[in-house]
Copies of this chain bind each other. A is one copy, B any other.
Amino acid sequence: MKKIKLAVVPGDGIGVEVVPRALRVLDTIADIHGGLSFEYEHFDYGCDYYLKHGDMMAADGMDRLRASDGIFLGAVGDATKVPDHISLWGLLLKIRREFELEINVRPAKVFKGIQSPLLNPKDFDLVVVRENSEGEYSSVGGRMYHGDNEIAIQNNVFSKRATKQAMDHAFKLAESRRRHVTSATKSNGIFHSMPFWDEVFKETATEYEGIDTVSQHIDALAATFVTHPERYDVIVASNLFGDVLTDIGAGIMGSIGIAPSANLNLNGKHPSMFEPVHGSAPDIVGKGIANPIGQIWTAKLLLDHHGEVAMGNLLLDTMEQVTAEGFLTPDVGGDKQTDEVVEALIRKLKS
C-alpha cells in the first residue's frame, strides 16, 4: 500500500469549503486505485489564526509542514481581516520561498461543458511554467524622502540558477507535449532583468533538440492569449508575468474557479505544494456555491506529481464528464451548489 501523507491547509474563505470536498475525491480515487491511501494532517493556518495568534502559522509550522509528502492548500488572504502583504508573505509566499518551491506549473485548456468567454476558443491547451521564487516578488527595496518627494524602490532579483531551472523545466515539459516553448519577456522596455532573461532563454534553447522557441513581449503575449490561445504549448515566464498570464489563462477557460496549480520543489529537500489559482473569494463564502473544480484539478496535479498519472487522467476526464453534463456552479453559468458538483463527480468515479 502506497501511502501519501498530506499536510492540509484550507486557509481562508472558500478554501475551507473546497478543500475538504477535494479530500473526499482523493479518498475516492484511493479506493478505486486499491493500492493507494492518503493520510491527512490538518492545519488551521490563515487569517483567523493570525487574528488569534498574531502570526499566520505556528512557530513550528514550517517544520510540521515539512514532515509531509505534499501540502494541499486552499486559499490564503482576506484583506477584510489582515492586509494582503502580511497574510501572503506570512503563509503562502513564505512556504513558496522557504520550501524552495521554485517552479509553479499551471495548465489551462478548453474544459468540456464550461463556456469560454472567447467566441472561438479553438481547443487551446497550454501550460505556463512560472518561476516561483524570485524576480519581481522580492522583499528587497524600500522608501526614501517624505510627503511629496517620497519614492519607493522595488528591486527585482533574477538569478541565473532559478531562471535556468524554470526554463529547463519548460523545455522538458515541452518534450512530452507539442514541443513548443514561448518565453514571456519585456526586454524592449525593462532594461536589465529582461535582456538577461532572454540570454538565458537563448542558451537553454541550444540545449534541447527539436523544440520550437519563440520569445514574445508580455503585452503582446497577454493579448494573444485572448485572440489566439491555441498558438501556445508551454510558456515560461517570470514570477509576475506568470502570475498575470495564468489568471488570463483561467479567464479564457471560463472561470478562475477551475484553474489548478502545482508549486514544485525540485531539490527533494521539501514537500511540494498544490493550490488552486483562485483566491479566498470572501464575497461568496458561506453560500455553498464555490466552484470545487480548481481544487480538485489541483488534486489531479498532486496525483501526477506522485506518479499516479493514470489516476490523475481518470480524475480530469471524469470532472469534464460531470461539467459536460451541466453540473456547474454559478461562476461558470450554472445553478448547482458546490456539493452537487462534488457528489456527481464521486458518483461517476465510483461507477
Question: A residues within 8 Å of B by Cβ?
Answer: 77, 84-85, 88-89, 93, 115-120, 136-139, 141-143, 145, 147-161, 164, 186-197, 218-220, 222-227, 239-240, 243-244, 246-248, 250-252, 255-256, 279
Contact = CB atoms under 8 A, between A and B. Distances in A.
- The complex is assembled from copies of this chain, and their number is 2
A227 B84 CA distance: 24
A219 B191 contact: no
Contact of A226 (B89, B239, B252): B252
A201 B225 CA distance: 29
Given A148-B164, A226-B252, 18 more contacts: A84-B187, A117-B118, A117-B226, A117-B227, A118-B118, A118-B226, A141-B193, A143-B192, A148-B160, A150-B159, A153-B192, A153-B193, A154-B156, A218-B243, A223-B247, A224-B251, A226-B248, A227-B255
A93 B244 contact: no
B149 A158 contact: no
Contact of A153 (B84, B93, B155, B248): B155
Contacts of A187: 84-85
A74 to B, nearest CB: 16
Nearest to A149: B160
17 contacts: A85-B187, A88-B188, A118-B118, A118-B119, A118-B226, A139-B192, A141-B192, A143-B192, A148-B161, A150-B159, A151-B159, A153-B193, A218-B244, A220-B247, A223-B247, A225-B251, A226-B226
A246 to B, nearest CB: 7
A244 B248 CA distance: 11
A188 B187 CA distance: 25
Contacts of A191: 85, 89, 137-139, 141, 154
Given A148-B161, A158-B152, A160-B151, A223 B256 contact: yes
Contacts of A192: 139, 141-143, 152-154
Nearest to A191: B139
Given A189-B240, A219-B247, A153 B151 contact: no
Given A141-B192, A193-B141, A240-B186, A157 B161 contact: no
Contacts of A239: 189
B227 A244 contact: no
A188 B93 CA distance: 10
Q: Which of A161, A223, A244, A255 gathers most chain B CB within 10 Å? A: A223
Nearest to A193: B154
Contact of A250 (B190, B223, B255): B223
Nearest to A220: B247
